A and B are shown apart, each in its own frame.
Chain A
Amino acid sequence: MGRSGPLNHGGVAPEYRLRRRFTLLALGGTASLLFSACFVQGSVPDLSQAAPSMPQTVRVFLNKNCAACHNRKTASGGLDFAAAAFRPLEAANYAFWVKVHDRVSKGEMPPKAMPQPSPASRATFLAALSQPLTAIQDAQARRTGRSVWRRMNRYEYENTLRDLFGAPWLQIRDMLPEDGLAFRFNKVGEALDVSHVQMSRYLAAADYALREAMAQQPARPETVTKRYYAREQRSFVGLASFNNFNGSPERATFPIVGNQADLPALEPNGPMTVGAKDPARREIEGMGVVASAYEPLQPKFNQFRAPVAGRYKLRLCAHSFWAGPESEKRWWRPSRTAISAGRTLEPITLYAAFPPQQLRKLGSFDAGPAPTVRELDVNLLKGETIMPDAVRFFRSRPPGWHNPLAQKDGQPGVVFQWLEVEGPILDSWPTPGQRLMFGDLPMRVADAGKVEVVSANPNADAERLVRGFVKRALRRPVTDADVQPFIKLAHTALASGASFTDAMIAAYSAVLCSPAFVTLEERPGPLDDYALATRLSYFLWNSAPDAELRSLADQKKLHDPAVLSAQTDRMLADPRAGQFVDAFLDYWLDLRKTDNTSPDADLYPDYYLDDFLVESSIDETRAFFSELIRKDLAARNLVSSDFVMVNGRLAELYGLKGLEGAAIRRVELPKESVRGGLLTQASVLKVTANGTTTSPVLRGVWINERILGKIVPPPPPNLPAIDPDTRGATTIREQLDKHRTQATCRSCHAMIDPPGFALESFDVFGGWRDHYRALGEGQRVSGYGKNGQPFAFHTAKPVDCSGALQDGRAFQDVRDLKHLLLQDERQIARNLVQQLVTYSTGAPVRFADRPKIEAVLDRAKPGGYGVKSLIHAIIQSELFRNK
């Protein structure tokens, strides 16, 4: 399939590439293959400062303790300290000295076999070396700030427009190009480029948002409640009869009344419904399915199409049923006549469908044997209809499918009875967007049904409205000079013959494309209250400050630590904090890449096409991180927790018995469970695999960098890819044997691989395995996949999940590994803080920032490094409150 091998040193992900560029820049001429501390530094010191000279204590220490090997003659590691210049104003040289600092600080140098300096002289040396290095970066931070001026990323732009117009249904993100990454996040100015492509996409997005957010009709749309019966939907009914294209019950709908087959309705041109004349019977009529919605079985409530974008309430009435076997011989085929009461609780997902094939997930709930009505509060886009999906069921793929859920006495099904829609639900009229753009000006229907705003005094109205709009859109006080160009633009447009509506939209488009809106204004030094409000809200909500934050900024109160703390609590308790959790995890843990690869249809047919599993796994990790924040649970839970946040599908994957249903909930784990913590969550195990094979190297790098906060050196160039063996003759560990036996590999892979070895117990979607799976020759495992096809894989060699950490501590499996990692709780917390600081300030943690990070940790230590406490401590820190 052209997938690059999981071990391909050449196939680095884009963010790795960016990092490597930084690395090369930093190392300059030094030939070392070791990692560069510049990654930690981030910004490049500039040369406008006075050059410091090497402190005497540093020189003395190096001569005494290092020069035995690192001299002109031996130059161990290519390094001669006598010739090493001290020019830390140059980025590469700065990075070099940070590396010297860190290797001495960690006790890696001098090597254990050599005479060791006294602890006191080591400390003196480190302090003396730190002093000029810190001073350089501190001076730079005072002059320019740690971070560089940046624009919003596409998540932020979408959220900001949604909040500005009170229109949470706006779909903006996908209209904008993918954002550049630096230091893993889409929050760093250096990587958030602007080109004409970006500009034109902003322009298109702004125009779309403005036209969608304005009222679509002159009068308030009526809120209607209407019931759509499945039996009256063409989409359901058309699938009830067999024809040229389908003669299979698995791909048909089942007319059912109560818990019985509706035999007349199965006849050609039989009566499909009693209709309104028999309400009692109409209520219990329904259409069943035994398969999950997938081409060609995608029945929808097609009579409903959202008349306008906005909020709606959906109520679905459904229940499970049981379809008996077609015959004793062909028991796996369902009979549409042998229907009985349901035996299962079935998760149902509702999608908003837009032709030809766009499907937006709205929410999930359960349907049991008794008809139940479940309600969802949703946002719909104009023209969307509703598609229900019984997600646990299989998806029939040709040829000759076989329902994996079928038993000798039948198979489970779900009957959809009706969908009731209430909406659009308006909290106010005119809508918030209309009011913001056009105040109370009347509207009328112009030519060709187009809606227009009517103004008796266009120039004066334009001026008044633009002033109001700019004041609301910008995140700081607005001056007349800020507003005038936009007023002028509206006036010019009016003069050129544009309609009032178009002229205003032109002016507003300019506002939404202007740097005052698109970029986040921060000036060097302590942030003023407006900049602080902005930084805070783009941290905890990933969106613009709300009225309360703005008002506190107006009153110059926000910088007060107590006020700031109270606001932090308020914001974390707000549903918008979900936007922080989603966006942060999308980048920190790569959750946005979950769908980049899919389970292989042959090797993992039990996962293939299982959208519900994909969605549940993302939901789990989000719920887990939210739980850590909400309950201020210790950062150590990231590595090992005694609970998981799961639904029925994940419980099945994790082998937790007795859990059913679609809703994610907290479940305490049995003692000795391998689960708990991020490492063993399905989302993480999937995103670190490629759908076909797992790689201890890729997973090892990922765990080291994301969870343990270790810096993994970039791979050496031009190493051949290892071609994973899907035939099962050799295991990945056998293929990686070089890492153990060759010294050049071992130096890095002794650190990289071990966590990956422990995770070999988990397959490409995080299911437990004792053996690998393989294709080709071998005794096939019996069973059928989610696609209805017989398993084509066989059991291959056993998994070896044991290993030893770099320091020699051995582990037998992932539980041991977690115990070992938990011994340094502060490092787990430190890594989280570093990720959060990068995310929230738009700049990485540099050498000079390290003491400030330690101060944050000290502050949260008494409660055991609670995640919420860490967030509070970050927000109160100097790092966060200064540019």
Chain B
Amino acid sequence: MGTDAAKTMRFSTSPTLSRRHFLRGTGVLLGLPLLDAMLPSSAHASPESTVPRRFFGICNNLGVLPDKFFPAATQAGRDYTLSPYLEELRDFRGDFTVMSGVMHPDVDGGHPADICFLTAAPHPSSGGFRNTISLDQYVAERIGYQTRFPSLTLGVNVGRGARSLSWTAGGVLIPCEDRPSEVFKRMFLGGSPAEVQAQARRLALGQSIMDTVADQTKRLERTVGARDRERLDQYFTGVRDLEQRMVQSAEWEKRPRPVVTEKPPLDLTDPREYMDKVRLMYDMARLAFATDSTRNITLMLDSVNSPAIVVEGKAVSDGYHSLSHHGKDPAKLAQLERIDREHMKLLAHLFADLKAHREGGETLLDRTMVLYGSNLGNANTHVTTNLPVLFAGGGFRHGQHLAFDRDRNYPLPNLFVNILQRFGIETDKFASSTGTLRGLEMTRSI
């Protein structure tokens, strides 16, 4: 741990968050009986038998200056010239794909669209809006039981409970955890004995419920004919499968926590220290993946809610959000470029860290799909088309610019289908997807 920045920062004096906060922040798994999270793709496959795949979804809700981010529209494919911003990622050119001309269909309405970045639920500013399940929670439902935490939901400068990238199937916001110290504590230090016991009791209760339901189903099955029995038998299997997953989840509390050499991080409380907070959260994500504590992390960078932030030791001239409404003022554009370039540098750090860690003959980056992007194509005009999207690692053939039509955008949810399939989840659909992303190929099939 201990980045230079963190060492110079004040230690947070606010009281540590309750367990409840953390549980909410890490997905609903442990808060029984919201057991959505422990659902399987292949029921009894041992986790060790497959290559672990991971996902890290990051949304910067003010985006970046499009002119400096996107490569030329005419330069599709592998021989494209890096854009000014992508120059910051030159060392990793072969590890990421940059996309242009993509959008979430019907996700309009400017700022509120950030909560749809991983859900693609349409019309977040319109009447009757209710969010839908986010990509990370969809994954957690299916493979979450394979790790101690089905998912982690993180944020920087997010107003408490106000925004998040992670949403349950019922459209309920999963609040962001914004304290790296708390993330670290949960992963490597664990809860109090009372908390551990309460959790064990909740899981045991869940198993008892399913056991009771299973018995009832069997009893009912005996009274019906063959055609109806088939349906009840499917019901029975569903019940037993869920019970099995609860058993496996309960195992986690009995297993020792991973040991890491890093020291617990210090929390930063000043919203101006935005960039250092981002760096700390990237470190937490890398640690979580390296210790296989979770395979699924989201990070909301609430730039809209951020003041005049510090970049390389010096604050920018205006509030982040005000700057984004630059009106083409050269002074403001220059300030924004400083911010945007710093974002790219932090990403380069993240990629380097993930690449430095090896796992089973591959680098951690090869097994971690990193999605960096924004709900805004251009913060100056609030458009939600032509989103800046960078997709790195995770076992795809990168090193290319996937250039889609900038007038008639291509659906970004298609990428989510690639991500789900990379996880080994059998599906051909997520939200408004129309297939898998054209031009994105896996490096190997498993």
Which residues of A line the B interface, CB within 8 A?
Answer: 1-4, 11, 143-144, 148-151, 171, 174-177, 189, 193-201, 203-205, 207-208, 244-245, 293-296, 298, 349, 351, 355-361, 389, 391, 397-399, 481, 485-486, 488-489, 492-493, 496-498, 502, 506, 509-510, 513-516, 518-519, 523-524, 595, 597-598, 601, 609, 611, 615
Chain A proximity mask over B321-358: 1 for CB below 8 Å, otherwise 0: 11001000000000000000000000000000000000
Contact of A200 among B112, B216, B219, B242 (CB under 8 A): B242
Whether the Cβ atoms of B39 and A197 lie closer than 8 Å is: yes
Query: In chain B between 220 and 234, which residues have their CB closer than 8 angstroms to a CB of chain A?
Result: 220, 224-228, 230-232, 234
B110 close to chain A: CB less than 8 A: yes
Chain B: minimal CB distance from A496 (Å): 6
A597 to B411, CA, bound (A): 13
Query: In chain B between 270 and 326, which residues have their CB closer than 8 angstroms to a CB of chain A?
Result: 319, 321-322, 325
Chain A proximity mask over B125-139: 1 for CB below 8 Å, otherwise 0: 111111110000000
Chain B: minimal CB distance from A601 (Å): 8
Whether the Cβ atoms of A615 and B129 lie closer than 8 Å is: no
Query: In chain B between 8 and 40, which residues have their CB closer than 8 angstroms to a CB of chain A?
Result: 33-36, 38-40
Chain B residues with CB under 8 A of A361: 127-128
Top 9 nearest A-B pairs by Cβ distance? A149-B228, A196-B241, A175-B170, A2-B411, A196-B242, A194-B238, A611-B127, A295-B125, A199-B242
Whether the Cβ atoms of B130 and A358 lie closer than 8 Å is: yes
Query: In chain B between 68 and 122, which residues have their CB closer than 8 angstroms to a CB of chain A?
Result: 103, 105-106, 108-112, 115, 122
Chain A residues with CB under 8 A of B156: none
A-B contact pairs, 16 of them (CB 8 A): A144-B228, A148-B230, A174-B170, A175-B169, A194-B234, A199-B238, A199-B241, A203-B35, A244-B319, A244-B325, A485-B215, A510-B209, A515-B217, A515-B232, A515-B235, A598-B122
Whether the Cβ atoms of B103 and A1 lie closer than 8 Å is: yes
Closest A residue by C-beta to B35: A200
Chain B: minimal CB distance from A197 (Å): 5
A519 to B224, CA, bound (A): 13
B7 close to chain A: CB less than 8 A: no
A717 to B305, CA, bound (A): 51
Closest B residue by C-beta to A189: B231
Known interface pairs A2-B409, A2-B414, A199-B239. Does A597 touch B106 (Cβ–Cβ under 8 Å)? yes
Contact of A148 among B35, B123, B124, B231 (CB under 8 A): B231
Contact of B213 among A4, A204, A207, A514 (CB under 8 A): A514
Chain A: minimal CB distance from B414 (Å): 7
Whether the Cβ atoms of B212 and A486 lie closer than 8 Å is: yes
B63 close to chain A: CB less than 8 A: no
Known interface pairs A204-B34, A496-B204, A597-B106. Does A359 touch B128 (Cβ–Cβ under 8 Å)? yes
Chain B: minimal CB distance from A416 (Å): 16
Whether the Cβ atoms of A2 and B410 lie closer than 8 Å is: yes
Whether the Cβ atoms of B216 and A357 lie closer than 8 Å is: no
B185 close to chain A: CB less than 8 A: no
Chain A proximity mask over B240-253: 1 for CB below 8 Å, otherwise 0: 01100100000000
Contact of A485 among B34, B127, B216, B414 (CB under 8 A): B216
A2 to B411, CA, bound (A): 6
B1 close to chain A: CB less than 8 A: no
Contact of A149 among B142, B168, B232 (CB under 8 A): B232
Whether the Cβ atoms of A485 and B212 lie closer than 8 Å is: yes
Chain B residues with CB under 8 A of A516: 216, 220
Whether the Cβ atoms of B34 and A148 lie closer than 8 Å is: no
Known interface pairs A357-B131, A516-B220, A595-B122. Does A489 touch B208 (Cβ–Cβ under 8 Å)? yes
Whether the Cβ atoms of A615 and B128 lie closer than 8 Å is: yes
A294 to B127, CA, bound (A): 9
Chain B: minimal CB distance from A36 (Å): 21
Chain B residues with CB under 8 A of A201: 36, 169
B434 close to chain A: CB less than 8 A: yes
Whether the Cβ atoms of A1 and B411 lie closer than 8 Å is: yes
A601 to B208, CA, bound (A): 53
Known interface pairs A244-B322, A489-B208, A515-B232. Does A200 touch B125 (Cβ–Cβ under 8 Å)? no
Whether the Cβ atoms of B231 and A296 lie closer than 8 Å is: no
A361 to B227, CA, bound (A): 43
Chain A proximity mask over B176-215: 1 for CB below 8 Å, otherwise 0: 0000000000000000000000000100111011101101
Chain B residues with CB under 8 A of A506: 205, 208-209
A197 to B234, CA, bound (A): 12
Whether the Cβ atoms of B125 and A502 lie closer than 8 Å is: no
Whether the Cβ atoms of A356 and B408 lie closer than 8 Å is: no
Whether the Cβ atoms of B34 and A515 lie closer than 8 Å is: no
Closest A residue by C-beta to B410: A2
Chain A residues with CB under 8 A of B319: 244
Closest A residue by C-beta to B163: A356
Whether the Cβ atoms of B129 and A357 lie closer than 8 Å is: yes
Whether the Cβ atoms of B110 and A296 lie closer than 8 Å is: yes
Closest B residue by C-beta to A351: B127
Whether the Cβ atoms of A360 and B128 lie closer than 8 Å is: yes
Closest B residue by C-beta to A203: B33
Chain B residues with CB under 8 A of A207: 33-34
Known interface pairs A197-B141, A598-B123. Does A151 touch B235 (Cβ–Cβ under 8 Å)? yes
B257 close to chain A: CB less than 8 A: no
Whether the Cβ atoms of B205 and A493 lie closer than 8 Å is: yes
Chain A: minimal CB distance from B190 (Å): 21
A361 to B238, CA, bound (A): 35
A203 to B111, CA, bound (A): 34
A448 to B213, CA, bound (A): 32
Closest A residue by C-beta to B239: A199
B442 close to chain A: CB less than 8 A: no
Contact of B131 among A194, A358, A486 (CB under 8 A): A358
Whether the Cβ atoms of A1 and B216 lie closer than 8 Å is: no
Q: With A149-B232, A204-B33 given, can you name 19 additional A-B contacts, CB distance below 8 Å?
A: A1-B103, A3-B434, A194-B237, A200-B245, A203-B206, A204-B34, A205-B170, A208-B170, A244-B322, A295-B111, A351-B127, A356-B112, A356-B115, A357-B125, A360-B128, A361-B127, A510-B209, A515-B232, A611-B128
Whether the Cβ atoms of B241 and A509 lie closer than 8 Å is: no
Closest A residue by C-beta to B241: A196
Chain A residues with CB under 8 A of B129: 357-359
B382 close to chain A: CB less than 8 A: yes
A196 to B141, CA, bound (A): 10
Chain B: minimal CB distance from A541 (Å): 24
B51 close to chain A: CB less than 8 A: no
Chain B: minimal CB distance from A330 (Å): 19
B171 close to chain A: CB less than 8 A: yes
Chain A residues with CB under 8 A of B245: 196, 200
Contact of B231 among A149, A488, A496 (CB under 8 A): A149
Contact of B322 among A200, A245, A513 (CB under 8 A): A245
Whether the Cβ atoms of A200 and B36 lie closer than 8 Å is: yes
Whether the Cβ atoms of B434 and A4 lie closer than 8 Å is: yes
Query: In chain B between 156 and 182, which residues have their CB closer than 8 angstroms to a CB of chain A?
Result: 161-163, 168-171, 173
Chain A residues with CB under 8 A of B3: none
Contact of B38 among A200, A397, A513 (CB under 8 A): A200
Chain A: minimal CB distance from B361 (Å): 33
Whether the Cβ atoms of B127 and A295 lie closer than 8 Å is: no
B443 close to chain A: CB less than 8 A: no
Whether the Cβ atoms of B36 and A1 lie closer than 8 Å is: no
Whether the Cβ atoms of B112 and A295 lie closer than 8 Å is: yes
A370 to B96, CA, bound (A): 62
Chain A residues with CB under 8 A of B35: 200, 203-204
A245 to B111, CA, bound (A): 13
Closest A residue by C-beta to B132: A174
Closest B residue by C-beta to A481: B219
Closest B residue by C-beta to A197: B39
Whether the Cβ atoms of B110 and A295 lie closer than 8 Å is: yes
A204 to B35, CA, bound (A): 7
Chain B residues with CB under 8 A of A498: 201, 205
A203 to B238, CA, bound (A): 12
Closest B residue by C-beta to A200: B35
Chain A residues with CB under 8 A of B34: 204, 207
Chain A residues with CB under 8 A of B204: 496
Chain A: minimal CB distance from B8 (Å): 31
